[in-house]
Amino acid sequence: MSLHIYDTSTRAIREFVPVEAGRASIYLCGATVQAPPHIGHIRSGVNFDVLRRWLTRSGYDVAFCRNVTDIDDKIIRVAAQEGVPWFVVAERNQRAFTWAYDTLGCLPPTVEPRATGHVPEMITLMERLIARGHAYASGGDVYFDVQSYADRYGALSNQKLDNMRAAADTDDESCKRDPRDFALWKGEKPGEPTWPTPWGPGRPGWHLECSAMATKYLGPAFDIHGGGIDLIFPHHENEIAQSQAAGDGFAHYWMHNGMLKIGAEKMSKSLGNSLLIPEMVQKVRPVELRYYLAAPHYRSSIDYSEEALLEAAAAYQRIEGFVTRAAEVIHDVDADAPLPQAFVDALDDDLGTPQALAVVHEVVREGNVALSRGDKEAVARLLAETQNMLDVLGLDPRSPQWRGAGSDLSPVVDALVAVALEQRKAARERKDYAAADAIRNQLAAAGITVEDTPHGARWELTR
């Protein structure tokens, strides 16, 4: 079986056939950086990071583009409330998003374009649309003419044009031929940033930004466009309309992750129920938070509760415990060991992470039995399978991301802890248990937990 994914545009599971053999291109709608990220934002990053890792493991050369919307009505509004320039808000929150993606183990994108750096491409796209009769300039604004695309507009969101409301993206609807026409470019307003265009100074509309950036880096036709389900309309619907009306094939597959909710409500800053990433990683470790976000199917909604979060952390710790104990017996893990077929089938079936993790837990159970029997051959095989599966999911506890090996100080910490444990071992051998306990307590005060095992003392950073 090859990879099959649910395509929102056809509302069906489709076999993944890339535009170019051996290559996979993904555009993910990234952050609109008016505020720091909560876990609902970063869920999308984690879900599409797993997709990217699976495509890479499946042999594709992956180009992954995740944009930053760094100019928008919301950013301008926040900046005005704070009394600071718009770019201060954008820069501050982009850094917060980057930190959050990195903290949860998301691989850096191949390219991460900012909207404000691509105004020339946006102007070119508007010129193409005007020349084809699909857009028009009015009062310094530029609008997409939905009636010119009426036969296809609404296909992604499964709506009919006659049932749609006004776009509500401008203060003066009289500039539009049709209230449902959406803004490609917004004319100059006092106190707002502007860029020059043939139709006068102004700033880009949200939808235009993504079309220009996606096609610049991935080409006029690319494989997968992703984002949250809340973006289907109007954002993604409008992206398709303006891109295809301009003559681009645009995305061949549309993938949308479900929302993260608290109770019956979508998590959002406006509701005041945001759970920001720095707060969340005080409740559980980053790898455990990643497990929590990756474990449900990407298209399902997550109803957040702290109880569920802690259950996910405990489930990950069971996996981690086996990997840690097995690694004390098996020192060389076969990184090329084949993945269990059930795991492969699960991810090939629309990125079925719940079923994939069920396979991980089953292999871990077998591994614990093999450890108890002292069957090193079985332990070696099952450890390799477990770590290789976890690597695909970005959850391998022995990877540099989660062990902290990327830190400049990690070799020093390793050496100092090793010396302390040798001193503790010597104290225990001469039956100076008070000295041994003192060393252990000193390590605990420094945030290092020591556990005595049949294979010697084991240490980790205190949770």
User: Which pLDDT tens digit goes with each residue over 58-109?
Assistant: 999 999 999 999 999 999 999 999 999 999 999 999 999 999 999 999 999 9
**Could you tell me which residues come within 8 angstroms of residue 218 by beta carbon, excluding any fewer than 6 positions away?**
25, 27, 63, 65
| Tokens matching residue 375 | 């069957």
Per-residue confidence (pLDDT) for residue 88, from 0 to 100: 98
Task: Average the pLDDT over 313-338 and give the result.
Answer: 94
The verdict on 233 and 289 lying in the same domain is no
Band the pLDDT of 279: cuts 50, 70, 90.
very high
Print the domain residue range for 139.
Answer: 4-257
User: Does one domain contain both 397 and 418?
Assistant: no
* Across 149-153, 334-338, 426-430, least confident range: 426-430
Structure tokens at 260: 């993260």
Q: What is the mean pLDDT of the chain?
A: 92
User: Are 368 and 428 within one domain?
Assistant: no
90 token code pair? 């954008």
- Annotate 37-70 with DSSP letters as a single string: -BHHHHHHHHHHHHHHHHHHHTT-EEEEEEEEE-
Q: What's the pLDDT band for 210 if we cut at 50, 70, 90?
A: very high
Q: 250-257 and 61-69: which strand pairing?
A: unpaired
DSSP 134-150: SEEEETTEEEE-GGGGT
The alpha carbon dihedral of 84, 87, 92, 97 has a sign of positive
Nearest Cα to Cα of residue 342 among 331, 332, 327, 357: 357
Furthest CA-CA distance within the chain: 90
| Radius of gyration of the CA atoms of the chain, in A | 26
Last residue of a domain, one of 403, 422, 438: 403
Same domain, 56 and 182: yes
Q: 141-157, pLDDT tens digit by residue?
A: 999 999 999 999 999 99
Look up tokens 């939905």; give the residue: 146
Rounded to 5, what percent of the chain is helix, strand, coil? 50, 20, 35
Amino acid identity of 96? A
Asked if pLDDT for residue 457 goes beyond 90, the answer is no
Residue 209 tokens, joined: 């930004």
Same domain? 250 vs 338: no
pLDDT score at 1: 77
Give yes or no for residue 431 having a pLDDT over 90: no
| Statement: residue 405 has pLDDT above 50 | no
User: Which of the 8 DSSP states describes residue 111?
Assistant: B
Domain end position, chosen among 361, 381, 403 = 403
Sign of CA dihedral 346, 351, 355, 360: positive
Token output for 75: 């950013």
Rounded alpha-carbon distances, angstroms, from residue 184 to 126, 187, 262: 7, 10, 34
Q: Which of 133, 146, 109, 137 is nearest to 30 (CA)?
A: 109
pTM of structure:
0.89
Q: In the listed set 257, 282, 300, which residue is the last one of a domain according to the structure?
A: 257
280 sits in which H/E element: helix 277-283
Mean pLDDT along residues 375-385: 97
Which of 215, 252, 258, 257 has its CA nearest to residue 10?
252
Contact criterion met (CB below 8 Å) for 286 and 257: no
Same structural domain for residues 75 and 166? yes
Query: DSSP strand E in 242-323: where?
Result: 250-257, 260-262, 265-266, 302-303
- For residue 303, list its beta bridge partners: 261
Of the candidates 452, 429, 450, 431, which has an alpha carbon nearest to the alpha carbon of residue 440? Answer: 450
Task: Please check whether residues 47 and 186 belong to one and the same domain.
Answer: yes
Does 164 share its domain with 304? no
Q: What angle do CA 58, 59, 60 make, to 5 degrees?
A: 105
Query: Smallest Cα–Cα separation from 3: which of 66, 63, 53, 64?
Result: 53
Q: 132 — phi, psi (to 5°)? A: -90, 0
Any idea what the CATH number is for the domain that residue 357 is in? 1.10.730.10
Q: Are residues 295 and 391 both part of a single domain?
A: yes
- Spatial distance between the Cα atoms of 76 and 206, rounded to a whole number of angstroms: 13
Kindly state whether residues 155 and 215 are assigned to the same domain: yes
Burial code (b: 16+ CB inside 10 Å, e: under 16) for 94-105 equals bebbbebbebbb
> Which tokens go with 343?
């795991």
Residue 171, pLDDT above cutoff 90 = no
Q: What is the DSSP letter of 236?
A: I
Say whether both 198 and 50 belong to one domain. yes
| Overall number of domains in the chain | 3
pLDDT digits (tens, 9 = 90+) for 222-238: 999 999 999 999 999 99
* Judgement on whether residues 365 and 431 belong to the same structural domain of the protein: no
State residue 172's pLDDT score.
80
